[in-house]
Structure 1
Amino acid sequence: MRERDDEWTGLMQQAIGGDDEAYHRLLRQVTPVLRAAARRGLARAGQPPDQSEDIVQEILLAVHLKRHTWDVSAPFAPWLFAIARNKLIDALRRRGRRIFVNVDDFAETLADEPAAPQVSAGEVVAQLQTLPQRQREVLQSIAVEASSIKQTAERFAMSEGAVRVALHRALSSLTAKLREQ
């Protein structure tokens, strides 16, 4: 381990001095180590390891762009792994907290679930008529006519936020009314 760190430090010092071949050798040596570290980090976070290549590329790009900030009198590996840790954390934050579950593991359970009660189109239309006019218009524009939030906002002279609120309220109200039946 110490030998590897010394070699990487030497290669980076040569690369900073302008030796392109040393820089390429360094990148070839660190890439598999970074790939393994990214896979381990993703696995520890409960994420699929297939995203590790994107993280490795982000790390290598950061190393390339920030190589001038490395202190040539310091060991290279701690600097590299600090960048790797930060890029992994950034990637996990962008993904948010998601848990991946293979649906095949639950095939029998899902097959046993009772089907949702069927609602006729007539019942939906009847309940739509009970909604306030603006909510009904917004729901019709977005859900039936496939207009965007922006288009709907312009059409009804509303802000996009107001359209989202009206849509949410309409869907919530419609769902509650249909469940009551």
Structure 2
Amino acid sequence: MPVRPARCYKRIKGPPYTREEYIHGAPMIQIPKFDMGTTSAAARTAFTMTAKLVVEERGQIRMQALEAARQMASKYLTKYVGDANYYLRLNVVPHHVLRENRMLAMAGADRLQEGMRLAFGSPAGRAARVEPGQVLFYAEFKPEHLPHIKEALRRAASKLPLPTRIVIEPKGNGGNKTVT
């Protein structure tokens, strides 16, 4: 069956559903990498700037949207900046298991389904629950790559169902921020 639109899942309803030992058939997390670019700590000392993609509303982001955003940002940065010139990290993990009470839509379906009886639903996907101000993506880079980093995070934000903002600041800076 096709995936339902993001509007079906982006609002938080009820407590998190994360206990995998009680959930049979929970899908695996389909995000292969959370760290991209230069991942060694020694090489990252040359980076003097940081950028963050910060979410502005409370909600849920499905793992498909997170993976699409990760791929978009990573491919753009690899093409225009090069793998050795940035570090990008996806900070959220989709632990919450989404449920779906599938309904059939065909002739004679009323004899096959139960309607709202036993409507708890079966596992249909995963989502990350986020709060306002939570960092989704974190990037380290050199100042000359700032326009490309901003564009990569802007493209990643276009794949997400919640409004976001990009925060640029010097690395290791305690309080001074530049919000764009």
TM over 0.5: no
Which of the two has greater strand per residue?
Answer: 2
Which of the two has greater helix per residue?
Answer: 1
Structure 1 or 2, whichever has the larger Rg, is 1
TM-score normalised to the size of structure 1? Answer: 0.26
TM-score normalised to the size of structure 2? Answer: 0.27
Structure number with the bigger relative contact order (C-alpha 8 A, sep ≥ 6) is 2
